[in-house]
Structure formats: structure tokens, C-alpha cells
Structure 1
Amino acid sequence: MSEGGIKLGIAPINWCNDDMPELGSDISLDQCLSEMQEAGYSATELGHKFPTEADILKPLLGNYKLALASTWYSTYFVEKHNHAEQLAKLECKLKFLFEMGTHVINLAECSGTVHNKKNSPLSSRPTFDDAGWDRLVDGLNKVGKLCRRYGIRAAFHHHMGTGVQTAEEIDRLLSQTEMETVFLCADTGHMQFSGFDPYPVFEKHMDRIAHIHLKDLRENVFKEMLSTDASFLNSILEGIFTVPGDGMIDFTPIFNLINESGYKGWMIVEAEQDPSNFNPLHYAKKARRYIRETANL
């Protein structure tokens, strides 16, 4: 892989969990950022311990030779019909990202989501009717146009526990949204967790992928979570996610495909685990070695 086109970062959620802030609550932001740098990464995503003023965050990250690759942003286009209000709030985030020199935002439709509910099994996730899909598509198309004004790509993040989780739902979203302005944040771990091989999705939609999350699954935990219909948060606590090279996903063909496609953008190692059980620096270094050996990056 050419370092000129593909860049490698790591998410702070490996140190400090955003959905369960008690995980990693004892880890300082300095420790998180310094260990990212030590492990050999050049960017991060926005975490809940980060300052949200660009004039503070940009020099702070610069001290660790890190860029801000992207950030998560929740939309509610299906359940909230007032798109104008949501777009106004989003524009504030886009102004911040523009000041940070960030070119991607990860959007997830969180209407009815159960991914943040510890006692809600994944089988209780929402499914959208045709009217809901119409509202989602309309909202995302508006988002895409707004993002383009700031030189930012709107990358939709499919996610366990949400209404866009399966391969079929990813297909529907990409087929109905505008290909010039709405893109995909492709997450290997969420694809595998949802029950489908990531490779065919990458192969089919590579031209729409604007951001990549690299995570792996521990197969024994994956099977147990499926058999017990666990919640997303309890699956994390049980250790379902790990870094690339430590689980069940074969990344070699995925990396080859990404390289051959001419992809230019970030790949972010994102494997939320309980840092008290899985040392973040150890796993960050393990992933970095694996990606260097497997992807030549």
C-alpha cells in the first residue's frame, strides 16, 4: 500500500469508551494520545475527553504529531421530521471540522437505536418502513450537499443495533442516496458482527467508501453473543471486538482490494474493549505490526 494515498490512524475508543464512559475513566487524554503516537499512528478521531475548540485541540494533537481524521455524528432523520434544525446543528460541527482540517464526518442514523442500551438485545433494533427510508435518504442527501460546501465528505456509518446494519440495508442506502455527496464509512467489525463477510461489500461499494474502520471479532465471543441475543454494550464487555490480526476476519484480501482500488483516505483501527482487561497500548502496537506486515503500510 502506498502511504501517499492511504493513511493510518487509531480511535480513542480503544482507551476511553464513549458509550460506557466508565471504561477507561482513569486513563488521561495525555496517556491516550501519547500511546497512539508511540504505537505509530498519525491520526485519531474525536473522543469524549477531547476539547472541542479547534484553537485548543489542533495544537494539542500537533504536540503528538496527530491529525483529526473524523468524528461520529448522530442523525435522527427517521424519527424527527424537522431536518432544518438537525442541519443547523450539524453545520456547527462542520465548521469545527473545517477549522481542524478534517475532511470526513461519520454519520449514523440513531432513530430507535439500541446500540447504547445495555439491556436491549440486538434483535430489538429498529427497522425502517418505506416512509422512514424516504426521510433518511432525503436527510442524508441534504447533509451530503451541506458537507460538500465545507470540503467534507459525509460518510454513513452502518452500525449494530441501528436501522442500517445489514448488507441489504447498506445496499439500499447507497442505491437511494446521491453518489456524488453521500459516502460510506465501512466498518469491518460491524459487517462481520451483523453476519456477513466484509469483502463483498468492499468489492461492491469501494467507489463510495470515504472512510474505513478496522476492527476484528473474537469468534468464540461472537458465537456466544449471537446465541444469547446479547446487547451491543454487553457484547463489548464480553470482549467481542479486538484489533485486526487478533480475530476471525481475514484482512489480506480486503487490504489487497483497498490498495488496488486507489483508495485515498484514512483507515482507523477501532476496537472498543475494556482497557482494564485488554491493554490499549499492547493492542495498538499489535494492530500496527499486523497492518505493516499484511498491508505493507
Structure 2
Amino acid sequence: MVGIGTAPDSWGVWFADDPQQTSWTRFLDEVVAAGYTRIELGPYGYLPTDPVRLKDELDRRGLTMTAGTTFEQLHRPDGWDATWRDIAKTAELTAAMGAQHLVVMPSMWRGDNGEIVEERLDHEGQAKHGQAVTELGRRLAEEFGLQTQYHPHADGHIDTQDTVERFLAETDSAYVNLCLDTGHISYCGGDNLELIRKYPDRIGYVHLKQVDPKVLAEVEAEGLSVDEAVRRGVFREPPYGAPELPPVLEALAGLDAEVFAIVEQDMYPCAPDVPLPIAQRTLAYLTAHGGSRSI
């Protein structure tokens, strides 16, 4: 069964504190109004970081948390300490909410204005990176009881189908599996259904989003960053983009596992009245095509 949830990202939230973003209280209230019962933590510091207060805010709205989200920089020789410092606080709060997953994303090789900020990892670099992420997953499991779900990201060091498959080959499934983000996989020319078919035991978590092929072609032709693509509306609500989500939900439902599929439609920045109607329509569409509000 595929349990549907949502995230602060679908309300235009990318940062802990930004005047362009919806307030956290409005976000939580509108999640309930849209009909969802599951959320992700979002950027650390957006929702209250005191676990007692956050648990109370969730409980009185009938919400549960499925995962925290964070970035890593473990491909850098000196990246462990900075990565662990940021991840540990997110993991601690995530675990305190009763969530089982931590979604971890790669550092970017391309900056917001489109310039190349780091060289892509070669095979040796990918192998070392995979070993480091495995060690991260081991520590997160042992210290916080969390399952690490790795999230490929456009303009990140793990992005294309090739880099995703090599990452899976270089990591230990006992500690690291895949957060399949359907939008980022499609953005980078990958095949979501192929990944589910080839690696059914490595699909640990899912982010649902769709890409507008027309906008994607424009930003690729201009060599723009994914951040600029988001500002141009590259990620669309279903069913108006790619990939088609009903076949993805069907394939996920066929896995021998209960899967959380979190709607994560990047919309930064967006006007405060935009997210709620989209969230309502998206949930209705996904539940009509096999998704479930509860597991």
C-alpha cells in the first residue's frame, strides 16, 4: 500500500526563516484543511524545534511525521564534521516525532545562477562517497533508529540515472536506500519505473512530483539551474507533467513493503493563497489512482 502525505516544500518552504514563505502555523492548518494526515519536517527550524511543543502542535491537528530532510557534503574530504553537525539535530527531532526515515540529499555541483561550482564525481569519488554515506546511515540507525533514504537531486552529485545506479551499487542496503523523487528523476532524464523494476528492494521512500517538459526544455537550452527552473514553474501538479503518476503508484503498490509517498511540489517562492487548492486537487487525484490517506 502507498500512503500519501505532503511536505512544507509544497507550500513554498525552502528555508527555516524567510518572509516570502507561508507561516508554519498556516502550513499545518492548511495541511489538515487539504485532507492530509502525514507531513515531513522540512528545513530544520521552520517548524518548532522543541520536541514537546512540536509534538503537541501535530497531535492536536491529527498529524504524524514520516521523515526529516537534510543535505550532506560527504564527497568533500573535510565534509564529515559539518554534515554530522547539521544532520544530527535534524535526526534527533525527527526521531522524537516518531518518524522512521531521514531523507538525505547531495551537495550541488551547479549554483543558483547556473555556474559550475564543483567538478562532478569520478568513479573513485563516487565509491568513496558511497562508503561515507553508508557510514552515515549506520550511525543514524544506531544513534537515532532512523532509516536513511537518499534523495537524488537535479544539479546535485547524485542526479542522473547513471549516478543513481552507481550510488546504489556503492552503498550498503542495510543502511542506505533510495528516496525516489519522481520529479527529480524525470528532470534529469531518468526512468522512475525502470528504477522501481530494477531495484525493488532499494525503494525505501518516495517523493511525488511532476515536471513540465516545455519549461524543462527551455531551462536546459539556456543552461539554467534547477532553482531558476523552479521559479519558472518547472514542477507541475498532476496530471499536467511527467512522469505519469498512476503507473508509478501501481508499481509502488506491487512492492513487498509499505511505502510513504510524499507530495513535494517545489514552488519557491509562491503567493500564500496558491498552495492549498493545489494540495487539495493533488490529494484527490492521487487517492483516485491508488494512493491511500492511511496505512
Q: CA deviation at 1:220?
A: 1.8
**What is the aligned counterpart of 1:53 among 27, 33, 50?**
50
Q: CA deviation at 1:126?
A: 4.1
Q: Could you tell me which residue of structure 2 aligns to residue 285 of structure 1? A: 280
Which residue type is aligned with residue 253 of structure 1?
P
| Structure-2 change in CA distance of 1:210 and 1:23 (3 Å) | farther
- Does the 8 Å contact 1:107/1:154 carry over to 2? yes
Which residue type is aligned with residue 132 of structure 1?
G
1:231 aligns with 2:228: no
CA distance in 2, matches of 1:86, 1:224: 34
Root-mean-square deviation over aligned CA pairs: 2.3
CA distance in 1, matches of 2:86, 2:23: 29
CA distance in 2, matches of 1:100, 1:113: 33
- Does the 8 Å contact 1:155/1:184 carry over to 2? yes
1:253 aligns with 2:247: yes
Q: CA deviation at 1:296?
A: 4.8
Q: Could you tell me which residue of structure 2 aligns to residue 134 of structure 1? A: 127
Q: Which sits farther off after the overlay, 161-170 or 127-136?
A: 127-136
Q: CA deviation at 1:94?
A: 2.5
Q: CA deviation at 1:148?
A: 1.9
Q: Deviations over 1:68-94 (max 9, x none)?
A: 211222111111336366446533432
SS of structure 1 residue aligned to 2:199: helix
Q: Deviations over 1:199-256 (max 9, x none)?
A: 1112212211111000011222122122222111110010000223232321122111
Q: Deviations over 1:83-112 (max 9, x none)?
A: 3664465334322222111100011121x5
1:159 aligns with 2:156: no
Q: Deviations over 1:243-282 (max 9, x none)?
A: 2323232112211111111331311000012422981011
Q: Could you tell me which residue of structure 2 aligns to residue 74 of structure 1? A: 71
1:269 aligns with 2:263: yes
- Does the 8 Å contact 2:38/2:63 carry over to 1? yes
CA distance in 1, matches of 2:40, 2:201: 23
Q: CA deviation at 1:132?
A: 2.0
Stretches of structure 2 that go unaligned for 5 or more consecutive residues are none
Q: Could you tell me which residue of structure 1 aligns to residue 12 of structure 2? A: 16
1:243 aligns with 2:237: yes
Q: Could you tell me which residue of structure 2 aligns to residue 190 of structure 1? A: 184
**What is the aligned counterpart of 2:166 among 168, 172, 186?**
172
- Does the 8 Å contact 1:75/1:108 carry over to 2? yes
Q: Could you tell me which residue of structure 2 aligns to residue 106 of structure 1? A: 103
Query: Structure 1 length as normaliser, TM-score?
Result: 0.89
- Does the 8 Å contact 1:113/1:162 carry over to 2? yes
- Does the 8 Å contact 1:125/1:161 carry over to 2? no
CA distance in 2, matches of 1:189, 1:69: 20
Q: CA deviation at 1:10?
A: 0.5
Identical-residue share of aligned pairs (%) = 22
SS of structure 2 residue aligned to 1:261: coil
| Structure-2 change in CA distance of 1:173 and 1:22 (3 Å) | same
Q: CA deviation at 1:291?
A: 0.5
Query: Structure 2 length as normaliser, TM-score?
Result: 0.89
SS of structure 1 residue aligned to 2:140: helix
CA distance in 2, matches of 1:167, 1:126: 18
Q: Could you tell me which residue of structure 1 aligns to residue 200 of structure 2? A: 206
- Does the 8 Å contact 2:5/2:39 carry over to 1? yes
Q: Which sits farther off after the overlay, 9-18 or 285-294?
A: 9-18
CA distance in 2, matches of 1:204, 1:24: 41
SS of structure 2 residue aligned to 1:267: strand
| Structure-2 change in CA distance of 1:251 and 1:16 (3 Å) | closer
- Does the 8 Å contact 2:126/2:170 carry over to 1? no
| Structure-2 change in CA distance of 1:52 and 1:14 (3 Å) | same
SS of structure 1 residue aligned to 2:103: strand
Stretches of structure 1 that go unaligned for 5 or more consecutive residues are none
CA distance in 2, matches of 1:136, 1:60: 37
